[in-house]
Structure 1
Amino acid sequence: MKQDVVDARISPAGHLAVLSKTEVNKLLDTSQGGLYRLLHNCSLAVLNCGNYMDDGKELLERYKSFEIRVLQEERGIKLEVKGAPATAFVDGHMIKGIKEHLFAVLRDIIYVSDEINDNPKFDLQSSDGVTNSVFHILRNANILKAGKLPQLVVCWGGHSISREEYDYSKVVGYQMGLRGLDICTGCGPGAMKGPMKGATIGHAKQRIGTGHYIGITEPGIIAAEAPNPIVNDLVIMPDIEKRLEAFVRAGHGIVVFPGGVGTAEEILYLLGILLHPDNKDIPFPLIFTGPAGSEEYYKQINRFIGDTLGLAAQQRYKIIIDDPARVARDMKEGMQRVREFRQQREDAYYFNWALQISPEFQQPFNPTHKNMAALQLHKDQESHHLAANLRRVFSGIVSGNVKDDGIRAIEQHGHFEIKGDAEIMGPVDELLSAFVKQQRMKLPGKTYKPCYRIVK
């Protein structure tokens, strides 16, 4: 099918106005190890905003003619795009929010390449080094606000939820906006857009003109979760592990809406951190919520967590069904506990330095067929270690479902094989089967083809 496309030249809008010749050459390097492919794929995803598509491979194939170039001029730089999705433009001019996101992509790619990777100041093999890199990327993007009290709620959930669930997420966002809370999400559609959309109305009614709507993504997932237009601060983290750490370091509490494997990965990541003995006394409000029709979904999630990680994990969250105002009130109260705790310790409000995050949650997991088959899925280990391995199961399935590299690996080598003890694999199989049945793996209307096989 022929796509409507546009060619254009764009000047910077609030981001990165000048680049060195070395940086420009890096971005124009089309070799396998160059930055061009990263810039190309992330930029195309940003420009595809509003054209709901959860398949990175499909997006690249649909816009095969798309090109992007950095032009070095005397007064600064410009971006030249060819074959860009026409929906990013109005009457021949690029939408301002999309333009800002495009230059945010450029800013973060350049910063990570120049200042983080291969920089001896950042030991990315150590836990402190990874955390330090996350801090610097967020600070460079101007996300960390030193003068603000704890008020940033991270919202997780699926990008292909039902209309009822989406509308509910908007009402929760509205109630949080009325209480002056800001929103941070994975920046895509569905449960990532709904709370932001609701919060904008709540902020407007309270005459809050400084509402913060942060979107945090990473190159592998951005095509499936293109930044929605409400996001006013976009950050591209280098990988999923640093993206998840950015959420829990910058956020002051988390609300989880219904979702699929990506949401399960996020839940397991956070619970694995909160189950670490060093974190048992750190307040971190965590609420699972959805409309009345989602009650069975949360019973299933709660049962899965109890069967695999036990009662201690279940005690770290609340489940609130069909009560948006209560979600907002409880989150606001939780923020006060966070504030008091950090005051007592003289900790920063803008970055959660106190959380202990083990290297197994920080080192990038490459979901190859070999690595997926080798995961340690048994109960003969501490619960936070099991959570880390379970998180990798769902991370691999996300890759096989929607990431370009993962989809191609499945096409070439067949299903991932996921092996483990029956007492772990039984609940995993049950949860994944429910996700397939409820169409939580892909956008509704598509027949889901599993990228995995459970081996008990």
Structure 2
Amino acid sequence: MNARITPEGSLEVLSRYEVSLLKDKSKKGLYDIFRQCALAVLNCGNESDDCKAIMERYKEFDIKLVNQPRGIKLELTNAPASAFVDGEMIKGIKEHLFSALRDIVHAKSVLAKSAELNLDSSSGITNVIFHQLRNAQFFTAGALPNIVVCWGGHSISRQEYDFTKKVGHELGLRGLNICTGCGPGAMKGPMKGATIAHAKQRIHNGRYIGISEPGIIAAESPNPIVNELTILPDIEKRLEAFVRIGHGIIVFPGGVGTAEEILYLLGVLLHPANKKLPFPVFFVGSKENASYFKMIDTFIGGALGEEAQKRYKIIIDDPIRVAKEIKKGIDEVAHYRRVHRDAYYFNWLLKIDPLFQQPFQPTHENMANLQLHRDQPVHLLAANLRRAFSGIVAGNVKDEGVRRVEKFGPFEIHGDKTILDPLEGLLESFIKENRMKLPGKVYTPSYRIIN
């Protein structure tokens, strides 16, 4: 499809400098990253987690900015036809498209040039995330804590997907809002369940928040239920955004991306400064998933110890209990923040080590040099394990990572045998259960464990 569209959402005007950035096809410009994110948004509903294949399929796709005296328009050429109905772009997709434009422009033209927001410091990175979320209008002053972050795999069975909907339904009946990675599978299910529950409760301002980043968005195109979308500059800022705005976290079954999220979360919560900070975390699944979470729990116990296992609770086959317990945990979060005078809408008190914040480039050299040994604080070991999973995710589905593996072979992972053995066992289980790629696709490992 070819089309010209006007803004829908929170962006209507751009400066001449911003327009020039969006037209610039060099590495200093924003054209390439915006084209990639725009294609991901427009590809909504066409399930594929192969960024490279998507980019090659739509290699003739183009997007141009048309600047006008009364605002802006986007000119699309050879866009996915599924984004249109009777020649008109679907409204939700149009909103997502301009959300992507808003966030990419804001990150480049404002945040990257501000001396106040120092990206070399931990507090500076947190401030960048705050400004990005505020610009996306994510904050509502005075609103009580009610955001549940739901993590889980995009490649899950129909039975697992239906279970995530049941949990989302129970959350919605209790007036809770949903935040996910915005893609399909366990990211879509809770939102779908919550929309029905909100309708039953006559809640007309339900929030279905999606948080993504340029490297993953093509593999996990925003699902159509998302009504608030933001794109953070990289995976580390995306993960921090989740834990800063979320008041509790539910983890459904998933693959290496979900394992990365779990290790990030536990590593942050294991920091000594966060020992007394309330943060409800639940690993949740149907009775068919009991063995999956036993496997995850065993891996965490072996890699990070009992203290890490104390930071979450496993609940099997009981959506009502999940909703009741996370609601109770969020009430404790609200009380703690009142007492300590912290904002409801952004968790400033949470301490995050810089190792979790600095962007990790999954090159073969960086993956081989990961510090996967026990001679370090447990929260830093979690940070390095998180990076290992992040590299495998890149090799599985991210365009740049896939191309690196095709060119130079699998990433090599080195470390202590006591860490690598359970890591290898977990990864092999993910492969056997088809959690690495969408069903119907043969998975070729992007990694090699060097024991």
**Residue 316 of structure 1, CA deviation:** 0.4
Query: Aligned letter for 2:448?
Result: R
**1:310-325 alignment, distance < 5 Å:** 310-325=305-320
Alignment partner, residue 117 of structure 2: 122
Alpha-carbon distance between aligned partners in 1 of 2:422 and 2:78, rounded to the nearest angstrom: 46
1:400 paired to 2:400? no
The DSSP-based 3-state class of the residue aligned with 1:117 is helix
**1:7-18 alignment, distance < 5 Å:** 7-18=2-13
**Residue 30 of structure 1, CA deviation:** 1.1
Tell me how many residue pairs correspond in the alignment. Answer: 451
1:252 paired to 2:247? yes
- The structure 1 residue matched to 2:269, chosen from 267, 270, 274, is 274
**Residue 144 of structure 1, CA deviation:** 1.2
- The structure 1 residue matched to 2:70, chosen from 63, 69, 75, is 75
Gaps of 5+ in 2: none
Alpha-carbon distance between aligned partners in 2 of 1:367 and 1:453, rounded to the nearest angstrom: 14
Alignment partner, residue 24 of structure 1: 19
**1:363-402 alignment, distance < 5 Å:** 363-402=358-397
**Residue 14 of structure 1, CA deviation:** 2.1
- The structure 2 residue matched to 1:135, chosen from 130, 134, 139, is 130
**Residue 23 of structure 1, CA deviation:** 1.0
Alignment partner, residue 101 of structure 2: 106
The DSSP-based 3-state class of the residue aligned with 2:361 is coil
1:205 paired to 2:203? no
TM-score where L is the length of structure 1: 0.98
- The structure 2 residue matched to 1:416, chosen from 391, 411, 418, is 411
- The structure 2 residue matched to 1:351, chosen from 328, 346, 361, is 346
Alpha-carbon distance between aligned partners in 2 of 1:185 and 1:317, rounded to the nearest angstrom: 18
Query: Aligned letter for 1:11?
Result: T
Alpha-carbon distance between aligned partners in 2 of 1:118 and 1:135, rounded to the nearest angstrom: 16
Query: Aligned letter for 1:225?
Result: E
Alignment partner, residue 49 of structure 1: 44
Alignment partner, residue 302 of structure 2: 307
Alpha-carbon distance between aligned partners in 1 of 2:437 and 2:429, rounded to the nearest angstrom: 13
1:222 paired to 2:217? yes
Alpha-carbon distance between aligned partners in 1 of 2:450 and 2:233, rounded to the nearest angstrom: 32
Alpha-carbon distance between aligned partners in 2 of 1:420 and 1:13, rounded to the nearest angstrom: 50
Alignment partner, residue 161 of structure 1: 156
**Residue 42 of structure 1, CA deviation:** 0.1
**Residue 396 of structure 1, CA deviation:** 0.2
1:334 paired to 2:329? yes
Alpha-carbon distance between aligned partners in 2 of 1:275 and 1:117, rounded to the nearest angstrom: 30
Alignment partner, residue 3 of structure 1: none
Alpha-carbon distance between aligned partners in 2 of 1:332 and 1:20, rounded to the nearest angstrom: 44
Alpha-carbon distance between aligned partners in 1 of 2:108 and 2:414, rounded to the nearest angstrom: 36
Query: Aligned letter for 2:104?
Result: I
Alignment identity in percent? 64
Which stretches of structure 1, 4 residues or more, deviate above 6 A after TM superposition?
none
Gaps of 5+ in 1: 1-5
Query: Aligned letter for 1:236?
Result: I
Query: Aligned letter for 2:390?
Result: S
Query: Aligned letter for 1:39?
Result: F
**Residue 119 of structure 1, CA deviation:** 2.1
Alignment partner, residue 446 of structure 1: 441
The DSSP-based 3-state class of the residue aligned with 1:226 is coil
What's the Cα RMSD here? 0.6
Alignment partner, residue 187 of structure 2: 192
Query: Aligned letter for 1:354?
Result: L
Structure 1, residues 353-376: CA drift from partner, whole Å, max 9, x if none? 000000000000001000000001
**Residue 33 of structure 1, CA deviation:** 2.8
Alpha-carbon distance between aligned partners in 2 of 1:67 and 1:304, rounded to the nearest angstrom: 45
**Residue 64 of structure 1, CA deviation:** 0.8
Alpha-carbon distance between aligned partners in 1 of 2:113 and 2:68, rounded to the nearest angstrom: 29
**Residue 294 of structure 1, CA deviation:** 0.7
1:298 paired to 2:293? yes
1:240 paired to 2:232? no
The DSSP-based 3-state class of the residue aligned with 1:81 is strand
The DSSP-based 3-state class of the residue aligned with 2:230 is strand
Alpha-carbon distance between aligned partners in 2 of 1:263 and 1:14, rounded to the nearest angstrom: 30
Alpha-carbon distance between aligned partners in 1 of 2:28 and 2:427, rounded to the nearest angstrom: 35
The DSSP-based 3-state class of the residue aligned with 1:70 is strand
**Residue 399 of structure 1, CA deviation:** 0.3
The DSSP-based 3-state class of the residue aligned with 2:216 is coil
Alpha-carbon distance between aligned partners in 2 of 1:412 and 1:32, rounded to the nearest angstrom: 22
**Residue 118 of structure 1, CA deviation:** 3.2
Structure 1, residues 119-176: CA drift from partner, whole Å, max 9, x if none? 2111101000000000000000001111210100000000011111000000000000
Alpha-carbon distance between aligned partners in 1 of 2:57 and 2:189, rounded to the nearest angstrom: 27
Query: Aligned letter for 1:86?
Result: A
**Residue 32 of structure 1, CA deviation:** 2.8
**Residue 333 of structure 1, CA deviation:** 0.2
